[in-house]
Amino acid sequence: MNRLAGIIVAAVGLVISVLAVLKVLPGLTGPGVILTLTGGLVIGLSFVPRPNADGDERMSTPATLLSIFLSPGKVFRNLRRHPRWLVALIIMSCLSAVYFNLFLYRLTPDLVTNYTIDKSLEMSYVQNNEKVRTSMERGVQKLLRTKRIL
């Protein structure tokens, strides 16, 4: 089951990556590569033998999420015998995306970009090399003129 899911995820990631490189789906090269690597990881982990269950029943996902706060020892013993991580990965990804979007909403993309540019100009290799500094400043001015920030 996991091997088939890994193959499907890797294939979808590969298709997305190829379409992004061909400019059919612009801007999705990174997510396509991540999907391909995740599929490869799932395929690789499918060859690892499962631990001995010892007749212990697998906890349901809602029971695991509730019990992690009430009796974490029981949950971790159950996860040792029945490892699974997909729900945790989905929850972490969703919370990370929500945090990132709220962060950008609060600070605005212009402020984040300007801060990054200012910090880049303060780096020692930029300050010590006038050619690099003028090139970066020209690029910043060009970006600001065209308003293609983020």
- The 10s digit of each residue's pLDDT in 68-122 is 899 999 999 888 888 887 888 889 999 999 998 888 888 887 788 778 878 887 8
Least confident of 3-7, 50-54, 105-109, 119-123: 50-54
31 inside domain: yes
Which residues form the domain of 33?
1-48
Confidence (pLDDT) at 87: 84
Counted domains in the chain: 2
Q: Are 133 and 121 within 8 A, CB to CB? A: yes
User: CA-CA distance, 59 to 116, in Å (whole number)?
Assistant: 45
* 54 assigned to some structural domain: no
pTM of the model: 0.49
CA–CA dist 125, 101 (Å, integer): 32
Q: In this structure, is residue 99 part of a structural domain?
A: no
Q: Is residue 93 part of a domain?
A: no
* pLDDT at 148 (0 to 100): 53
Tokens for 74, please give them: 């029981």
User: Quick check: is 126 in a domain?
Assistant: yes
